[in-house]
Structure 1
Amino acid sequence: MVFDDPKNLRPRRSPRLPGLDYTAANVYFVTVCTHRKQCIFGLPDAPTVLGSAAAQGIREIPAHFPGVRVDKWVVMPNHIHMMLLTPHAKYNLADIIGSYKSYVSKCAHQTHPQCTVWQRSYYDRVVRDKVSYLEFWQYIDNNPAKWLLDEYHP
């Protein structure tokens, strides 16, 4: 079977929860992975130029989407995690993440025009209560320390 031919790929299932209004006020835990899990961002305490751009893009989300808040985030070598608070129906989560991915890709294309930075789509979880919020917060805090145990650590 040839996988490069789009006709031979299985239909892609949407990762979005059916029936959830992604424009409603919510708190989301979001993970975005690099293309083929390539380690292109450097370490959280020693980012590459592209890792710095990824961090800057996260810091600028509230400026591009007024009212949206990024409560906690980390840029790992091959993925990012963030907790986004969307207080009203003005913005869709997909628009926010799409804009972020576009910003980082444009930064990468300045020096490497043909590179693919991101894997398709992203992962999100709706944070439903304070306990989950604190668990995701702690997960983001602990993620850099667990990098040495990650299956994608070189």
Structure 2
Amino acid sequence: MPRPELPGRKNSLRHPDIDYGSRGAYFVTVRTHRHRPLFGSIRDGVMDCSPVGDIVRDEWYRTETLRENVVLDAFVVMQDHIHGIICLVPEGGTEVSPCCYQWHPQAPLDAGTTHSLRVRRYDPERHGVAYRPPDSLSSIMAGFKGAVTRRIRAECNVSPDARIWQRNFHDRVLRNEREWRNVRRYIRLNPQRWWHKHGT
């Protein structure tokens, strides 16, 4: 059965011209390895997390306490994936409205404008294509996924080399308040939507 379309979702991974260390608001999705339903089940439109799902939720919220440049917004754990809005802000910042981070695809990415997403500050030929700038979205997500995997292997009855996540994650830049509201609503209603479609 085809998966529901996300609002305005693009299927590509990182945008080649965006510096993902820039201040900005991002809608991210991370799936389990082979889409295994490790995180729990949905009953009557409410997600009931398994012990593995509880670890995922705890480590997601812990991200904000570990990193001064992260403010978290809407978030949901589903059976085989998570959706969340993660905001990169100046250290000590709390303003996460996408009005402060607007980026228009038709306009050039301006490295000198503090309120727009910047072009990449690194050269893949120099640093290597797998390079993750410190405090970038990719670095933050790698840290989150690694922390979850280590805790699951240590605390749950799984193989020490068990794979939890798909190798990468999907993201979308939230460019205005309308997109932000739509994605928040999508995240909030995700368990109910799944239940109406698949529940008994």
Contact 1:23-1:88 within 8 A present in 2 as well: no
- Provide the rounded CA distance (Å) in 1 between the counterparts of 2:88 and 2:161: 33
**Aligned positions, number:** 138
> Given the two structures, how large is their TM-score scaled by the length of structure 1?
0.83
Residue 109 (structure 1) aligns with: 153
Contact 1:57-1:104 within 8 A present in 2 as well: yes
Residue 58 (structure 1) aligns with: 60
User: Equivalent residue of 2:64, what SS?
Assistant: helix
Residue 18 (structure 2) aligns with: 20
1:32 CA displacement: 0.2
1:117-132 matches, within 5 Å, as 117-132=164-179
Residue 6 (structure 1) aligns with: none
Deviations 1:94-120 (A, max 9, x none): 011001100110112123113110001
| Greater length-normalized contact order (CA 8 Å, ≥ 6 residues apart) | 2
Deviations 1:19-42 (A, max 9, x none): 111010000000000001000000
Residue 140 (structure 1) aligns with: 187
Q: Give the stretch that moved more between structures: 141-150 or 74-83.
A: 141-150
Structure 2: state its 5+ residue gaps.
1-11, 92-133
1:45 CA displacement: 3.5
Contact 2:30-2:81 within 8 A present in 1 as well: yes
Deviations 1:46-92 (A, max 9, x none): 21110000000111011111131111100001000110110139710
Residue 45 (structure 1) aligns with: 47
* Runs of at least 4 residues off by over 3 Å: none
RMSD of equivalent CA atoms: 1.8
Structure 1: state its 5+ residue gaps.
1-13
- Provide the rounded CA distance (Å) in 1 between the counterparts of 2:184 and 2:26: 11
User: Equivalent residue of 1:85, what SS?
Assistant: strand
AA at the equivalent of 2:75: W
Contact 1:34-1:117 within 8 A present in 2 as well: yes
AA at the equivalent of 1:68: V
User: Equivalent residue of 2:135, what SS?
Assistant: coil
